[in-house]
């Protein structure tokens, strides 16, 4: 094993592996290893410029450990790398031990060695960093860390499960509809860990050990930071991966959407009614299949004859306009041949080049190629943006596939197994770069169904995908939204009422919708959307293409569910509008520090052990404690109030903290408490 220092970084050579450890941001280290002669030079999520003092670590290489055995005796090197509060010790066996202020916080799998100091090999023959060659290709990679009793793990993006604490969970590192893989974990022990590769894989946060696995990589790459609180950890992480801009206060009220407004007149009639009722409508959203064919990226002129006049009227009413864009390209699209000839589509390794078959025989544009990103923006600028469309809904950008056979995909930047998870980020980048080039960066926002580490810097508002309309799904969204925020993305929303409705006229569904709406009032964005069955509305056309043939769901405006529901939603909307200045301050804080808008209880109260156990209540910023109603017919629920004074915003009752209270929850409100 050979140790050397190189410009403030530690380089360790052992057999075919080169290990590099260097400072990368405040109290943070980047760790890379490769079996190749050189590193790739790709920084992936670690994109931000850093102060010079955060780029150079203190490196101490010593020769002070004696290795003895039958017939041999020699001294071996070990090294310590320190950057502020974090340090790592490399023992003679090459195993890494990470410290915060000299307290051990994480260590590579070490049970293969006789002792931490000697590094002598034991009988298990299980290594911490395992590169397994892929025949004819790169490497499968597994990295293992010892488990720690009592540790809790959060973050990692969005998974459809009720478990917010991920310790004991197995997570697929892959993008799917309603699953967003952002491989950044926040530990209760006091560190944050970024698995800095967009490769498809998995992570198991086991009690005995944590195991990260990538199906195909050229090198190991991870980043680790140390801090006392989750807030400081997220701050350090977003400093190196980027932060969201400030979301405009003009977007913090009601968003109106449904599957689907089929015509220009339908959109205008809805907006006009909101305007006539005196109900502010910040955004109206035009969903899919308003186009001629997938990949045309244009309005069907039969049903959208004058998009500019539509946008002008909506803007005059104070409403911004968002339109859905998919990356899918039908083989009958006007753009397919050019995209194919120029090599701007995702390729398949075997079989058909069809990768998506919903309402067409489709390929997908390869946005990892900068030419493809420029192409899709050029079309969307001409056919949407130049008409006055304000924002884009980037749907299906996992990318959604016929089958999630990642090993059958090949992108401009590499095989699907190696790079697939970065695809949704490159879609957002295409639109960010395009709008920046127009000189209108302020107020930029993209509603996206997926993202990856660092997506926040691309003005991404994640939403939780096509989730069911059930109370169980609502429960899952609470955990998902909190973990998304801990993974660095402060802008997040859901389809109010869920997406997949069986019967929108069922009173039980209306109750679910109201409870979901009341919860969404205390989320970053309040957005009505859903696929409202039964599907008994005749299509506008019998053509097999264009904007008129596909089905539509029933009405989904706040007046669509009866007078009682309308009054409740209108009242809750007023509460939201009254909070706009406060929510705006949260958006500014998110932009400055990376702080989530919706926060796990332990984020605000890290010293309160009980707060680390709570996953069904949360903080809306630092002021409001929100306890969603997550069961049908529930009219009260228990709420834990941390130390301090609290006021129930619904009835004015004041409480001393440090106790659990039973809070009333009539249909028209959920329990919300303000810190006083």
As annotated, the active-site residues are 395, 398, 466
3-class SS of residue 401: coil
Tokens 């957002």 found at: 428
155: left (phi over 0), alpha (psi -120 to 50) or beta: left
Alpha-carbon distance 302 to 506, whole Å?
Answer: 35
For residue 637, the 8-state DSSP code is E
Sign of the alpha-carbon dihedral angle for 104, 110, 114, 118: negative
With a CB cutoff of 8 Å and minimum separation 6, the contacts of 129 are 17, 33, 94, 108, 141, 142, 143, 220
Rg of the chain, C-alpha, whole Å: 26
Helix axes 580-593, 563-578, angle to 10 degrees: 60
Tokens 């892959």 found at: 174
Alpha-carbon distance 670 to 625, whole Å?
Answer: 11
Strand (E) or helix (H) holding 90: strand 86-90
CA atoms within 13 A on the CB side of 300: 25
Strand (E) or helix (H) holding 587: helix 580-593
Q: Which two tokens stand for residue 167?
A: 């310790």
Q: Which two tokens stand for residue 663?
A: 């809070």
CB 321 within 8 A of CB 292: no
Alpha-carbon distance 426 to 422, whole Å?
Answer: 7
Q: Which two tokens stand for residue 307?
A: 């998009």
Task: Let me know the angle formed at the C-alpha of 186 by 185 and 190, rounded to the nearest 5 degrees.
Answer: 135
CB 113 within 8 A of CB 146: no
Distance of CA 291 to the CA centre of its chain: 28
Tokens 């069986």 found at: 502
Reading across the β-sheet that carries 86-90, which strands appear in turn? 58-69, 72-83, 86-90, 96-100, 103-107
Cis, peptide link before residue 534, omega less than 30° from 0: yes
Q: Bridge-partner residues for 619, per DSSP?
A: 599, 625
Q: Which residues of 139-162 are buried (b: 16+ CB within 10 A; e: fewer)?
A: bbbbbbbbebeebbbbbbbbbbeb
Helix axes 230-241, 580-593, angle to 10 degrees: 70
Cis, peptide link before residue 543, omega less than 30° from 0: no
Question: Within a 10 A sphere around the Cβ of 507, how many other Cβ atoms?
Answer: 11
C-alpha distances (whole Å) from 96 to each of 76, 108, 143, 224 are 16, 5, 11, 12
Sign of the alpha-carbon dihedral angle for 561, 566, 568, 573: positive
Q: Which two tokens stand for residue 315?
A: 């803007």
Alpha-carbon distance 312 to 317, whole Å?
Answer: 9
- DSSP E strands in 488-590: the ranges are 492-493, 500-501, 526-528, 531-532
**In 3-state terms, the chain is what percent helix, strand and coil (to 5)?**
25, 30, 45
């Amino acid at each position: 094993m050979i140790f050397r220092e190189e410009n403030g970084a530690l380089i360790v050579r052992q057999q075919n592996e080169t290990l590099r450890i260097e400072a990368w941001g405040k109290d943070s280290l980047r760790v890379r290893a490769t079996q190749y002669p050189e590193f790739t030079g790709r920084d992936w999520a670690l994109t931000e410029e850093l102060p010079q003092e955060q780029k150079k670590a203190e490196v101490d290489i010593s020769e002070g450990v004696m290795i003895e055995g039958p017939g041999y005796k020699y001294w071996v090197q070990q090294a310590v790398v320190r950057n502020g509060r974090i340090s790592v010790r490399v023992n003679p066996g090459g195993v890494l031990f990470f410290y915060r202020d000299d307290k051990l916080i994480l260590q590579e799998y070490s049970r293969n060695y006789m002792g931490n100091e000697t590094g002598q090999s034991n009988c298990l023959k299980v290594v911490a960093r395992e590169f397994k060659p892929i025949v004819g290709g790169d490497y499968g990679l597994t990295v293992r860390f010892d488990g720690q009793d009592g540790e809790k793990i959060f973050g990692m993006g969005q998974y459809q499960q009720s478990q917010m604490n991920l310790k004991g969970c197995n997570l697929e590192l892959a993008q799917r509809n309603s699953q967003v893989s952002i491989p950044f974990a926040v530990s209760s022990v006091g560190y944050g860990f970024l698995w800095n590769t967009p490769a498809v894989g998995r992570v198991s946060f086991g009690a005995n050990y944590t195991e990260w696995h990538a199906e195909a990589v050229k090198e190991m790459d991870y980043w680790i930071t140390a801090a006392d609180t989750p807030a400081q950890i997220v701050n350090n992480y977003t400093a190196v991966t980027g932060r969201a801009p400030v979301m405009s206060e003009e977007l913090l009220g009601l968003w109106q959407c449904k599957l689907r407004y089929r015509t220009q007149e339908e959109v205008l009639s809805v907006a006009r009614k909101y305007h006539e009722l005196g109900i502010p409508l910040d955004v109206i959203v035009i969903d899919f299949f308003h186009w001629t064919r997938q990949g045309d990226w244009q309005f069907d002129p039969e049903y959208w004859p004058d998009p500019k006049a539509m946008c002008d009227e909506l803007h005059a009413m104070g409403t911004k306009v968002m339109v859905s864009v998919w990356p899918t390209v039908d083989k009958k699209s006007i753009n397919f041949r050019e995209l194919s000839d120029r090599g701007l589509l995702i390729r398949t390794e075997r079989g058909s080049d069809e990768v998506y078959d919903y309402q067409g025989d489709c390929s997908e544009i390869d946005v990892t190629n900068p030419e493809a990103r420029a192409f899709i923006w050029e079309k969307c600028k001409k056919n949407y943006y130049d008409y006055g469309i304000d924002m884009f809904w980037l749907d299906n950008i996992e990318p959604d596939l016929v089958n999630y056979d990642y090993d059958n995909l090949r992108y401009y930047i590499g095989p699907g197994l190696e790079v697939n998870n970065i695809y949704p980020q490159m879609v957002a980048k295409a639109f960010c770069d395009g709008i920046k080039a127009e000189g209108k960066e302020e107020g930029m926002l993209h509603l996206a169904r997926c993202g990856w580490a660092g997506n926040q810097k691309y003005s991404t508002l994640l939403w939780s995908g096509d989730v069911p309309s059930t109370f169980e799904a609502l429960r899952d969204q609470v955990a998902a939204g909190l973990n998304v925020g801990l993974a660095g993305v402060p802008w997040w929303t859901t389809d109010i009422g869920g997406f997949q409705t069986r019967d929108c006229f069922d009173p039980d569904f209306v109750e679910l919708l109201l409870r979901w709406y009341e919860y969404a009032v205390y989320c970053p964005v309040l957005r009505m959307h859903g696929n409202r069955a039964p599907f008994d509305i005749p299509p506008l056309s019998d053509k097999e293409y264009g904007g008129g043939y596909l089905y539509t769901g029933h009405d989904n405006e706040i007046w669509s569910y009866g007078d009682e529901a309308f009054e409740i939603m209108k009242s809750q909307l007023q509460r939201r509008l009254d909070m706009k200045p406060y929510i705006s301050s949260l958006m500014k804080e998110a932009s400055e520090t990376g702080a989530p808008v919706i926060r796990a209880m332990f984020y605000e109260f890290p010293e309160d052990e009980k707060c680390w156990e709570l996953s069904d209540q949360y903080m809306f910023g630092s002021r409001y404690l929100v306890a969603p109603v997550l069961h049908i017919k529930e009219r009260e629920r228990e709420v834990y109030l941390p130390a301090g004074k609290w006021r129930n915003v619904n009835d004015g009752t004041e409480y001393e903290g440090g106790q659990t209270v039973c809070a009333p929850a009539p249909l028209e409100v959920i329990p919300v408490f303000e810190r006083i």
